[in-house]
Amino acid sequence: MVALMVAACLGGGSGCSILFAKGPPERLEPHEPIRCSRSYALPVVDGIITALQVLRTLYAVSRDDRDYNGMPITRPADIGFGVGFSTLFLISTGVGISRVSDCNELFDKVERWPEPRRLRPPQNVWAPPPPAQPPASELDADTERAAAASAEEAKAAGQAAGAAAHQPAAKPPAK
């Protein structure tokens, strides 16, 4: 069982926070991505292994030396390995939690920092104003004549409508 625990940790099957959890970098470069462990999965696995090692050690303490007759390991050695592995995985759990917490704290700080030298587009984007009309001196003669004729037609139509509104209404024919 001890060999299985060691193989699981060192082989990377369950992960070991001391070996695989990466803390935040000591020096942060402006345009480099932050590479560190943000997940608590490895420390949790180490915590589970710690609990199993403690239970296994307590089981070994509760047994007699006679129960170890014919076994490849003695009871004191089994207890010693249990205490050692419990301590190792407990330290690994603490180191992993510390590294992941530091990494998450760094990410929280960096997400709140304004990004220097990087302009962000405004939140409310408005349409640009319409282009200004060129001065009348720049318009060609045909355009001026067309604008004047259009204005005259509109004026005449408005006058005709006004005159029709002021005439008395025609009486209906008598029966």
Three-state secondary structure along 64-104? CHHHHCCCCCCHHHHHHHHHHHHHHHHHHHHHHHHHHHHHH
The model's pTM is 0.55
CA angle 76, 80, 86 (to 5 degrees): 145
pLDDT tens over the chain, length 175 residues: 545 445 555 444 344 888 888 988 888 887 788 889 999 999 999 999 999 999 999 999 999 999 999 999 999 999 999 999 999 999 999 999 999 999 999 888 877 665 555 556 666 666 777 777 766 555 566 677 777 788 888 888 777 766 666 666 556 666 5
- CA–CA gap between residue 171 and residue 175 (Å, rounded): 12
For residue 117, give the DSSP letter: T
